[in-house]
Amino acid sequence: MANLLYIGNKLVSTKTNITTIDTLGSLLKEEGYNIKFSSNKQSKLIRLLDMVFTVLRYGRNVDYVLIDTYSTLNFYYAFVISQLCRFLKIKYIPILHGGDLPQRLKRSPKKSRLLFNNAYRNVSPSHYIKEKFNEKGYKNIEFIPNTIVIADYPFKERIQARPKLLWVRSFKKIYNPLMAIEVVKELKNKGIKVELTMVGPDGDGTILFANKMVREFDLDIKFTGKLTRKEWIDISSEYDIFINTSNFDNMPVSLIEAMALGLPVVTTNVGGIPYLVKNDYDSILVNPDDTQAMADAIKNLISSPEKVQILSKNGRTTAEKFDWLEVKSKWKHLLK
């Protein structure tokens, strides 16, 4: 088995959700790969220095460096580490997570070329990102989807949907959590007694505005803060509809998890999501920030048990395609 160094934000805490470095890293380790990780430092500057130090210390003894690559500040972490790998002649593999990465290619064309064109391979978890990179002339893109262990997600077929909604994400503007609150307000105005539970840590202060809206409009909305995956899976059986309100997205694992659990999904139609799910087959797609459309979709589901059952069953079928037992062969082929 190959020796790997995995570079990313290994920052699991009360303020951050689990990320790919934790999930994929653990799965690869279980398959027998020898992996070292960096970095878990909270300070951004110290984290970058720790990443650099780790590459200098272990780089010559590893076969590949995996680099979680996003579109915002983390892009610069990935750029620095990639150029260090080039200098040390180490094969590196960016994993392209950020739903806004296509815009990063436009904003930082020179850095993007240096980072992505010199990679051993670039791994795209979605056909959306792969397509956008291909359009910009990048050809060394390998599609390997995000993955879950399907056995960890007990399937509960929804026969009829009650107005009990679940939202799971960080409270950040790019995920548009305030839209979820507006949807509840709209449903309440339609005379529907709706409940919403929002699971996730505060990322940029947006939760303060969320709390203010809930109080102002007297809505039945519960904020749990961050929960472990097992904790939110355990409470998911109490809910009948999963909503996703993102403005930018790539291939959100939370949608795959929701479908695996049998939750009918209503989601915004952004980024890689229409490449992941199919409207009226395993989910319902609405335009971003279209509160009225999402509220109407939820209302229609509540009155359509047949549609609920279709989405619930087909969602599980879609989620099973992302089981680690199906995906791991792609990683083994890449890392041979």
Q: What is the pLDDT of residues 30-56, one digit of tens each?
A: 999 999 999 999 899 999 999 999 999
Does the domain at 3-145+324-334 match CATH 3.40.50.2000? Answer given as yes
Strand partners, 267: 244, 285
The model's confidence at residue 98, banded by pLDDT at 50, 70 and 90, is confident
Distance (Å, rounded) from C-alpha 173 to C-alpha 208? 12
Q: How many CA atoms lie within 13 A of 47 on its CB side?
A: 17
The model's confidence at residue 99, banded by pLDDT at 50, 70 and 90, is confident
Q: What is the pLDDT of residue 150?
A: 97
Residue extent(s) of CATH 3.40.50.2000 domains in the chain:
3-145+324-334, 150-320
Percent of the chain at pLDDT above 70?
Answer: 98
pLDDT of residue 208 exceeding 90, the answer is yes
Q: What single-letter DSSP state applies at residue 36?
A: E
pLDDT of residue 16 exceeding 60, the answer is no
pTM above 0.75, yes or no: yes
Q: What is the pLDDT of residues 272-320, one digit of tens each?
A: 999 999 999 999 999 999 999 999 999 999 999 999 999 999 999 999 9
Average pLDDT over residues 140-165: 96
- Which residues touch 256 (CB under 8 Å, ≥6 apart)? 146, 148, 276, 318, 319, 322
With residue 329 as reference, give the H or E element that holds it. Answer: helix 324-334
Q: What is the pLDDT of residues 238-249, one digit of tens each?
A: 999 999 999 989
pLDDT of residue 69 exceeding 60, the answer is yes
Q: What is the pLDDT of residues 107-139, one digit of tens each?
A: 999 999 999 999 999 999 999 999 999 999 999
**Considering the chain, what is the average pLDDT of its residues?**
95
pLDDT of residue 19 exceeding 90, the answer is no
Q: What is the pLDDT of residue 210?
A: 96
Distance (Å, rounded) from C-alpha 335 to C-alpha 323? 19
pLDDT of residue 14 exceeding 60, the answer is no
**Residue 13: count of CB within 10 angstroms of its CB:** 10
Average pLDDT over residues 211-221: 96
Pick the CATH number of 150-320 from 3.40.50.1100, 3.40.50.2000, 2.40.30.210, 1.10.1670.10: 3.40.50.2000
Distance (Å, rounded) from C-alpha 95 to C-alpha 163? 37
Q: What is the pLDDT of residue 12?
A: 64
Between the alpha carbon of residue 24 and those of residues 102, 138, 178, 212, 327, the distances in Å are 23, 24, 30, 37, 11
